[in-house]
């Protein structure tokens, strides 16, 4: 007989059939009722044991956390809360779980803080919250690939080890095989990286964008979706040292096309989880509502979780220039009354999350795309506008989070790109191959970047980025 999943059994229309199921015991009540979960869905299935005809030694081994193999009949449930249950004919203990040991872990059936759950990340997916979050993460990941595949993009694997800094920020993790206690030195006393494994100084990538651009200029439409790394000492609820990035790049596409692509993409992936993860979203929404009850009004979520997701799908994104946004912010009440933490008083300011959320939640009441940012606050590769002071950059702003997507039309003119690199002290020899793209059939091209964990945070309503990735890497933390 084929082993069924709990998800299959709970949607099974046939009753009074013999089944087999394997999973972990969530609870065992009154020596009779096993709540069994196998991770296939949020719900557990009730398994009813005839304890009078079962070996007492075996009964004692049915404990919270134990892995079991159950054979029995699927019947209509006599109790509340479930349509079917299993009348157990036989039970095999596949893996014991000592109750004394379980009592020290998050497997004990009671509420735990997210901080405590993080300390046991290897077990936290056995809880309802984290099983729901990680199923949603998996669905979003599938939706990303599905969208690009349906729209004629090629999936490109950008290198993890690189010699270039795509963002020019210098916050990179070094990759080396040199002896840290006795590295080879040059005549001037500096570390001689020519003796290193790659013969030069190398780092973990901060972005696959530059490499993706080279592929877009041959294959037309490509995307990367892989791990990226930032050695940024930011111990906040929104930063990770290791995270996943989605980065499409498209040849012959300008900024307007880039905004169209980003909006269509965001609506698709969010629609996908609204359709395929209803049970998990309902659970997470209820969890969020309970959590909000203990918060001051101004810290609560602006709208219920599924309503927030539908807000993205059902509304056209408002496109606003940076200059127009600055005028709105400068003249708004929170700014005039100095309620913003960062007061907007002049053009050129780098917008903060509070400003972005004001534009989305209070002023426009819809998702917003800001474009044409000051060149001085954006990266070197963004195309300079004719005014000489703004670049063809765009950011997408969402409720409750602010910026979620950042992108631009890339600078395709060799002379302008060289001048920008010189201005920022970026050596041409480090990016000779990137400059080559502008020599051999250069053309308008654009792309954007989306931190995948920011998307998962938005879709799940989780407030800390450490809770939407299996094993978070943050300053002073590389556990598991």
Looking at the structure, tell me whether residues 78 and 132 fall in a common domain: no
Looking at the structure, tell me whether residues 166 and 313 fall in a common domain: yes
Residue 424 domain flag = yes
Residue 95 domain flag = yes
What residues contact 128, with CB distance under 8 A and at least 6 apart?
Answer: 42, 283
Compute the distance between CA of residue 285 and CA of residue 312 in angstroms, rounded to an integer: 16
Looking at the structure, tell me whether residues 23 and 152 fall in a common domain: no
CATH of the domain at 93: 2.40.50.140
- Average pLDDT for residues 7-26, to the nearest whole number? 90
Backbone phi, then psi, for 323, in 5-degree steps?
Answer: -60, -45
Residue 197 DSSP code: T
What residues contact 415, with CB distance under 8 A and at least 6 apart?
Answer: none
Return the pLDDT at 168.
60
Backbone phi, then psi, for 336, in 5-degree steps?
Answer: -65, -35
Return the pLDDT at 324.
98
Return the pLDDT at 359.
97
SS3 403: strand
User: Tens of pLDDT along 275-305?
Assistant: 999 999 999 999 999 988 888 887 888 789 9
Residue 188: which pLDDT band, with cuts at 50, 70 and 90? very high
pTM value is: 0.94
User: Among 86, 101, 116, where does a domain finish?
Assistant: 101
Return the pLDDT at 6.
97
In this predicted structure, the answer to whether residue 179 has a pLDDT above a threshold of 70 is yes
User: Tens of pLDDT along 327-338?
Assistant: 999 999 999 999
Residue 170: which pLDDT band, with cuts at 50, 70 and 90? low
In this predicted structure, the answer to whether residue 423 has a pLDDT above a threshold of 90 is yes
Q: Is-contact 239 472, C-beta < 8 A? A: no
- 265, 386, 453, 469 from 143: Cα distances, Å: 9, 38, 14, 17
Compute the distance between CA of residue 216 and CA of residue 390 in angstroms, rounded to an integer: 25
Q: Buried b / exposed e across 446-473, counting CB within 10 Å, b at 16+? A: bbbbbbbbbbbbbbbbbbebbbbbeebb
Residue 358 DSSP code: I
Looking at the structure, tell me whether residues 29 and 142 fall in a common domain: no
Q: List the single range of 10-19, 107-116, 172-181 with lowest mean pLDDT.
A: 10-19
Q: Is-contact 391 408, C-beta < 8 A? A: yes
Return the pLDDT at 400.
86
User: Tens of pLDDT along 386-408?
Assistant: 999 999 999 999 998 889 999 99
Q: Is-contact 233 210, C-beta < 8 A? A: no
Structure tokens of 286? 């209820």
What is the rounded average pLDDT for all residues in the chain?
Answer: 94
The range of the structural domain enclosing residue 15 comes to 3-101
Looking at the structure, tell me whether residues 453 and 340 fall in a common domain: yes
Q: How many CA atoms lie within 13 A of 422 on its CB side?
A: 6
Looking at the structure, tell me whether residues 74 and 27 fall in a common domain: yes
Residue 244 DSSP code: E
Residue 473 domain flag = no
Cα Rg, the chain, nearest whole Å: 27
Number of domain units in the chain? 2
Residue 194 domain flag = no
Q: Is-contact 344 329, C-beta < 8 A? A: yes
Residue 151 domain flag = yes
Residue 237: which pLDDT band, with cuts at 50, 70 and 90? confident
Looking at the structure, tell me whether residues 33 and 144 fall in a common domain: no
Helix runs in 151-254, H state only: 209-219
Structure tokens of 159? 């290198």
**For residue 330, how far is the Cα from the chain centroid?**
32
Structure tokens of 248? 């499409």
Return the pLDDT at 300.
83
Residue 176 domain flag = no
CATH of the domain at 432: 3.30.930.10
Compute the distance between CA of residue 219 and CA of residue 154 in angstroms, rounded to an integer: 8
Compute the distance between CA of residue 233 and CA of residue 169 in angstroms, rounded to an integer: 13
In this predicted structure, the answer to whether residue 369 has a pLDDT above a threshold of 90 is yes
Structure tokens of 55? 């070996």
User: Tens of pLDDT along 147-157?
Assistant: 999 999 999 99
Compute the distance between CA of residue 217 and CA of residue 219 in angstroms, rounded to an integer: 6
Return the pLDDT at 169.
61
Return the pLDDT at 360.
95
Looking at the structure, tell me whether residues 226 and 347 fall in a common domain: yes
Compute the distance between CA of residue 381 and CA of residue 164 in angstroms, rounded to an integer: 13
**For residue 88, how far is the Cα from the chain centroid?**
40
- Average pLDDT for residues 256-265, to the nearest whole number? 98
The secondary structure of 249-299 as a DSSP string is EEET--HHHHHHHHHHHHHHHHHHHHHH-HHHHHHHHHHHHHHHTTS-GGG
Structure tokens of 61? 């081994």
Helix runs in 277-377, H state only: 278-292, 305-314, 322-331, 333-336, 353-357
Q: Is-contact 278 127, C-beta < 8 A? A: no
State percent of the chain over pLDDT 90.
86
In this predicted structure, the answer to whether residue 167 has a pLDDT above a threshold of 70 is no
Looking at the structure, tell me whether residues 71 and 152 fall in a common domain: no
User: Tens of pLDDT along 340-367?
Assistant: 999 999 999 999 999 999 999 999 999 9
- Residue with tokens 């979620």, as numbered in its chain: 404
In this predicted structure, the answer to whether residue 478 has a pLDDT above a threshold of 90 is yes
Residue 177 domain flag = no
Looking at the structure, tell me whether residues 72 and 153 fall in a common domain: no
Looking at the structure, tell me whether residues 379 and 433 fall in a common domain: yes
What residues contact 208, with CB distance under 8 A and at least 6 apart?
Answer: 156, 158, 159, 166, 224, 226, 228, 245, 247
Q: How many CA atoms lie within 13 A of 371 on its CB side?
A: 21
What residues contact 118, with CB distance under 8 A and at least 6 apart?
Answer: 124, 466, 467, 472
Q: How many CA atoms lie within 13 A of 263 on its CB side?
A: 19
Residue 239 domain flag = yes
What residues contact 13, with CB distance under 8 A and at least 6 apart?
Answer: none
- Average pLDDT for residues 50-57, to the nearest whole number? 91
Largest pairwise CA distance in the chain: 85
Looking at the structure, tell me whether residues 84 and 151 fall in a common domain: no
Return the pLDDT at 228.
96
């Amino acid at each position: 007989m084929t082993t069924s999943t709990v998800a299959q059994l709970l949607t099974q229309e046939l009753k009074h059939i013999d089944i087999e199921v394997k999973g972990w015991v969530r609870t065992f009540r009154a020596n009779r009722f096993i709540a069994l979960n196998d991770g296939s869905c949020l719900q557990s299935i009730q398994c009813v044991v005839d304890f009078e005809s079962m070996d007492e030694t075996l009964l004692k081994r049915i404990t919270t956390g134990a892995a079991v193999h159950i054979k029995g009949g699927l019947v209509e449930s006599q109790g509340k809360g479930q349509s079917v249950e299993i009348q157990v004919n036989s039970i095999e203990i596949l893996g014991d779980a000592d109750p004394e040991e379980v009592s020290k872990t998050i497997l004990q059936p009671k509420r735990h803080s997210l901080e405590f759950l993080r300390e046991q990340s290897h077990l936290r997916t056995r809880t309802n919250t984290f099983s729901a979050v990680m199923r949603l993460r998996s669905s979003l990941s599938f939706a990303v690939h599905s969208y690009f595949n349906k729209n004629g993009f090629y999936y490109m694997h950008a290198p993890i080890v690189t010699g270039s800094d795509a963002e020019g920020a210098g916050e990179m993790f070094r990759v080396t095989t040199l002896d840290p206690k006795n590295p080879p030195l040059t005549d001037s006393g500096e570390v001689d990286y020519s003796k290193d494994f790659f013969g030069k100084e190398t780092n973990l990538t901060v972005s696959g964008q530059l490499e993706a651009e080279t592929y877009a200029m041959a294959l037309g439409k490509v995307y990367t979706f892989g791990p990226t790394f930032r050695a940024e000492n930011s111990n906040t609820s929104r930063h990770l040292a290791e995270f996943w990035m989605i980065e499409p790049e498209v040849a012959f596409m300008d900024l307007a096309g880039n905004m169209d692509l980003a909006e269509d993409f965001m609506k698709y992936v969010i629609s996908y989880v609204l359709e395929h993860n209803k049970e998990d979203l309902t659970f997470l929404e209820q969890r969020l509502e309970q959590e909000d009850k203990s918060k001051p009004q101004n810290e609560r979520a602006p709208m219920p979780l599924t309503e927030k997701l539908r807000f993205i799908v059902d509304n056209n994104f408002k496109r606003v220039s940076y200059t127009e946004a600055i005028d709105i912010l400068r003249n708004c009440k929170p700014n005039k009354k100095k309620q913003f933490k960062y007061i907007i008083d002049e053009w050129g300011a780098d917008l903060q999350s509070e400003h972005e959320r004001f534009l989305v939640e209070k002023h426009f009441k819809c998702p917003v795309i800001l474009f044409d940012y000051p060149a001085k606050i954006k990266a070197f590769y963004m195309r300079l506008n004719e005014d000489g002071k703004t670049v063809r950059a765009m950011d997408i702003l969402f409720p409750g989070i602010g910026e979620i997507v950042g992108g631009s039309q890339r600078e395709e003119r060799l002379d302008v790109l060289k001048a920008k690199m010189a201005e920022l002290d970026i050596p041409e020899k480090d990016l000779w191959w990137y400059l080559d793209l502008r020599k051999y059939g250069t053309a308008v091209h654009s792309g954007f970047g989306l931190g995948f964990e920011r998307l998962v945070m938005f879709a799940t309503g989780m407030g800390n980025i450490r809770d939407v990735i299996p094993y978070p890497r943050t300053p002073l933390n590389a556990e598991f």
